[in-house]
Amino acid sequence: MRTDRTFTMLKPDAVEKGHIGAILEKINASGFRIVAMKLTHMTTNDAKAFYAVHSERPFYGELVEYMTRGPIVAAILEKENAVEDFRTLIGATNPADAAEGTIRKMYAASIGENAVHGSDSDENAAIESAFHFSGREMF
C-alpha cells in the first residue's frame, strides 16, 4: 500500500553549515507537507540500528561516526508519491552524479557527507518514521 509519506533527515553536515532553512524551503516549495519534525542527536546505537542494512559495507563505521557527530533534523513528509518524488528532489547518493537543482547537488560535499536522507520505499518510510517519532508527534 502506498502511504504518501516519506521520512527524511537533514544530516549533521547540513545542520553544521546552516542549511536547515534553505533545505526546508525547497522541500516546502516542492509540495511536501511537514507531518512531524524535530532537531535530535543520534547516539551511536541509534545510528548503528538505523543503518543496520549497511552493517557489512566498508563505509559503515564512517557513516555511524558522521551521523552521530552533531544534531540532525528528522522529519516526516507527506505528498502524493512521496517516496519517489522526494528521492528525485534529493538526487543521487553521490552529489557528483546528482542532477542540477537537487538538494544533494546544491548542498552535499561528498558521497559520504551528502546533506540529506530520503527513504527508499514506503515500507522503510514507515519503519524509519517510527524509529524517530511516536504517533503523538505526527500531525
Residues assigned a catalytic role:
117
Q: Counting Cβ atoms within 10 Å, is residue 9 exposed (0-12), middle (13-18) or buried (19+)?
A: buried
- The verdict on whether residue 93 carries a ligand-binding annotation is yes
Residue 17 binds which entry of ligand IDP, Mg ion, none, CB below 5-8 Å type-dependent: none
Q: 19 vs 117, which CB is nearer to Mg ion? A: 117
Instruction: Give the CB-nearest residue to Mg ion.
Output: 120
- The verdict on whether residue 17 carries a ligand-binding annotation is no
Q: 17 vs 57, which CB is nearer to Mg ion? A: 57
- The verdict on whether residue 3 carries a ligand-binding annotation is no
Q: 111 vs 138, which CB is nearer to ligand IDP? A: 111
Q: Which residues bind ligand IDP (CB under 6 A)?
A: 54, 59, 62-63, 93, 111-112, 114, 117, 120
Q: Which residues are annotated as a binding site for ATP?
A: 11, 59, 87, 93, 104, 114
